[in-house]
Amino acid sequence: MGEDEKGREAPSLTALPPQLAEAVSSSCASISHNLNGQKLGRKGRVTRERILAAAIELIDSPEEPVTLSSVARRASLGMTSLYNYFTDLTELLLAVLEPVMATAETSYLTVLRERWPDDDLFECCYRFVRAYHDFWLRHSRLLHMRNALADQRDQRMLAHRIDSTRPVIGLLVSQMDGETRPESADTAMATMVMIGIERSITVATDRELRRQVGMGPEVSEDRFLVPGARLMELAVRDGRAGAG
């Protein structure tokens, strides 16, 4: 493993949480060739893993901007080597998002896959919203970067943002005993609930946004999580009543 210009060891997967490290390794193992069409052997896969580990380390260190050149420096690679794997920052961030989103199943989707009892509906909704918030908190800067690029009409990031919410919307419609067709009223309701929850969690996990809306560190994120869970509960109860 190499060192950067400050004598630090280049990042590796061993520095990542085990579940994320496994997801990164699996993601890199699925790539067969680099951008020049060269078949990736073990060395090429390790280099790709090193780039992603460096990007994750930078993203988790908000004092330094995340750019291709800063990632290359952190990974102890030249820009030519990095361009063998990624053409631009969006492509690199999408490669980081892939293993991160692979952890969504155990982080929050599994909560939605259970059938929620009517008597415990609010508690179940709150458990999901809390799990979704905690996932966002763990990956806050990455997800905020994605959303900022999506808001700037980066089509690849916009598609990722939309695609990442589709499993939640589909499972929420199932909780509502609703119709899963894209044009159904149930899907529209689940979509609106999900938009509200994501937007509120965006505020709750962003320090600058919290400052702008007057939500200091002493204010609990439950200010948004509890209303989000209530809205979800109402949507599920309404859907089940209509289906009954």
Domain ranges of the chain: 13-88, 103-243
Residue-level pLDDT at 223: 87
Q: What is the pLDDT of residues 55-90, one digit of tens each?
A: 999 998 877 899 999 999 999 999 999 999 999 999
Residue-level pLDDT at 244: 66
User: In sequence order, what are the beta bridge partners of 33?
Assistant: 39
Separation of alpha carbons 134 and 140, rounded Å? 9
> Residues 6 or more apart from 187 whose CB is under 8 A from it?
169, 173, 178, 179, 180, 181
Phi and psi, residue 187, nearest 5°:
-65, -40
Give 80-103 as a DSSP string: HHHHTT-SSHHHHHHHHHHHHHHT
User: In sequence order, what are the beta bridge partners of 3?
Assistant: 9
Separation of alpha carbons 105 and 109, rounded Å? 5
C-alpha closest to that of 74 among 99, 50, 104, 97: 50
Separation of alpha carbons 100 and 9, rounded Å? 23
Residue-level pLDDT at 174: 96
User: In sequence order, what are the beta bridge partners of 207?
Assistant: none
Give 16-56 as a DSSP string: S-HHHHHHHHHHHHT--B-TTSPBP-HHHHHHHHHHHHHHH
Give 150-206 as a DSSP string: HHTT-HHHHHHHHHHHHHHHHHHHHHTT---STTSHHHHHHHHHHHHHHHHHHHHT-
- Specify the pTM: 0.89
Phi and psi, residue 101, nearest 5°:
-70, -20
Low-confidence spans in the chain with pLDDT less than 50: 1-7
Q: How many CB atoms lie within 10 A of CB 134?
A: 15
User: In sequence order, what are the beta bridge partners of 126?
Assistant: none
Phi and psi, residue 210, nearest 5°:
-60, -40
Residue-level pLDDT at 6: 44
DSSP state of 118: G
Q: How many CB atoms lie within 10 A of CB 143?
A: 24
